[in-house]
Amino acid sequence: MSRIGKMPVVIPAGVTIDIDDQLIKVKGPKGELTQTIEPEIGVSMVDGTVQVVVQQQSKRSAALWGLYRALIANMVTGVSEGFSKQLEMAGVGHRAAMQGSNLQLSVGFSHPVLMTPPQGVTFAVTENTKISVSGISKEVVGEWAAKIRAVKPPEPYKGKGIHYQGEQIRRKAGKAAKAVGGK
């Protein structure tokens, strides 16, 4: 039995959930999200909470039970509070700037990298080296934060590049200096 799947999802004030057969719509103050559910998983409203249950017992349904409960909980959190990922840049000359709603990265290439956010995601830059990616969908926010990090991932020798805030970069020792012998 799934420990996560058994837990009900509490619906905060201002959030409405519509369950229509295999489609769930979650609407809140920040926006609206939808999710389709597999037929072997059932979703019901019970006393202001959402309960996820298994319709057909199988290994696949046991795996999907906790997954869909977590997806619904993330949808409820997203439309009520939203999600955000913070990135930091390290390196001489590495900086970020906003160009309208687009993000412009200068990371040592011969050209600046311009990134256009999808609908529902916003970029923000503070202190030229700190980037914030925010939105209502946890999946999309995480995906775009990973795309920004992939432009210039941190290298292991000096740690230059783009990394998540608080991320520990594994560092390698540099090349050992060769002893110079006198002749």
* 160/157 Cα distance (integer angstroms): 8
Structure tokens at 128: 């030229």
Distances (CA, A) of 74 to 41, 43, 100, 180: 17, 15, 29, 60
Residue type at position 31 = G
Residue 98 and residue 154 in one domain: yes
Residue 20 and residue 73 in one domain: yes
Question: In which residue are the tokens 């210039």 written?
Answer: 152
The per-residue pLDDT for 176 is 75
* Total count of domains within the chain: 2
State yes or no: pLDDT of 86 exceeds 80. yes
Residue 38 and residue 50 in one domain: yes
* 76/160 Cα distance (integer angstroms): 37
Percent of the chain whose predicted confidence (pLDDT) is above 90: 64
Q: Which domain holds residue 152?
A: 83-164
Cβ neighbours of 178 (radius 10 Å):
6
The per-residue pLDDT for 1 is 61
Residue 70 and residue 116 in one domain: no
Q: 113 forms bridges with which residues in the sheet?
A: 105
**Mean pLDDT score, 120-147:** 94
The per-residue pLDDT for 24 is 94
The per-residue pLDDT for 62 is 86
**Mean pLDDT score, 156-170:** 90
* 164/162 Cα distance (integer angstroms): 7
* pLDDT tens-place string over residues 103-122: 999 998 899 999 999 998 99
Q: Are strands 49-54 and 23-28 parallel, antiparallel or unpaired?
A: unpaired
The CATH code of the domain that includes 152 is: 3.90.930.12
State yes or no: pLDDT of 177 exceeds 80. no
The per-residue pLDDT for 49 is 92
